[in-house]
Amino acid sequence: MQIVWSEMRSALLTPYYDPPVRGNAVTVQRLERQLLSLGCRATVWGLDIRSPAEIIDGVATQGCDICHAFHALLGGALALQLKKKTALPYLVTLTGSDIYESLAGQQRSETIQALLAADRLVVFHESIAARLAAEVPQVAGRIRVIPQGVDLPPMETPGERHHSDDDTIVFLLPAGLRPVKNVLSCLEPLAGLHAHDPRVRLVIAGPAIDDEYASCVLAALPAFPFASYIGTVDHPAMTALYRQASVVLNTSRFEGGMANSLLEAMASSRPVLVADIEGNRSLVNDGDTGLFYRDAPEFLDKAKLLLDDPALRQRLGNAGRRLVEERHSPEREAAAYLGLYEEILAAEWTSADF
Q: For the whole prediction, is pTM greater than 0.85?
A: yes
- pLDDT band (50, 70, 90) for residue 167: confident
Determine what percent of the chain is predicted with pLDDT higher than 90: 80
Contact 287, 312 (CB under 8 A): no
Q: Would you give the DSSP letter of residue 257? A: S
Beginning with the edge strand found earlier in the chain, give each strand of the sheet holding 66-70 in spatial order. 41-46, 9-14, 66-70, 90-93, 120-123, 143-145
Q: Is the pLDDT of residue 270 over 90?
A: yes
pLDDT of 102 reads 79
Average pLDDT over residues 185-202: 97
Contact 329, 323 (CB under 8 A): no
- pLDDT digits 0-9 by tens, 71-129: 999 999 999 999 999 999 999 999 877 888 778 778 899 999 999 999 999 999 999 99
Q: Is the pLDDT of residue 21 over 80?
A: no
- pLDDT digits 0-9 by tens, 310-333: 999 999 999 999 999 999 999 999
pLDDT of 96 reads 77
Amino acid letter for position 253: R
Which ranges in the chain are annotated with CATH 3.40.50.2000?
Answer: 9-149+329-353, 169-327
Domain 169-327: give its CATH code: 3.40.50.2000
Q: Is the pLDDT of residue 160 over 70?
A: no
Q: Is the pLDDT of residue 165 over 60?
A: no
Contact 245, 59 (CB under 8 A): no
Q: Is the pLDDT of residue 63 over 90?
A: no
Give 153 or 165, the one with higher predicted confidence: 153
- pLDDT digits 0-9 by tens, 30-41: 999 999 999 999
Chain mean position to CA 191: 28
Average pLDDT over residues 3-18: 81
Strand partners, 171: 202, 247
Average pLDDT over residues 37-55: 94
Between 13-22, 80-89, 230-239, 329-338, the lowest mean confidence (pLDDT) is in 13-22
- CATH 1.10.30.50 matches 9-149+329-353: no
Handedness of CA 23, 16, 202, 279 (dihedral sign): negative
pLDDT of 235 reads 86
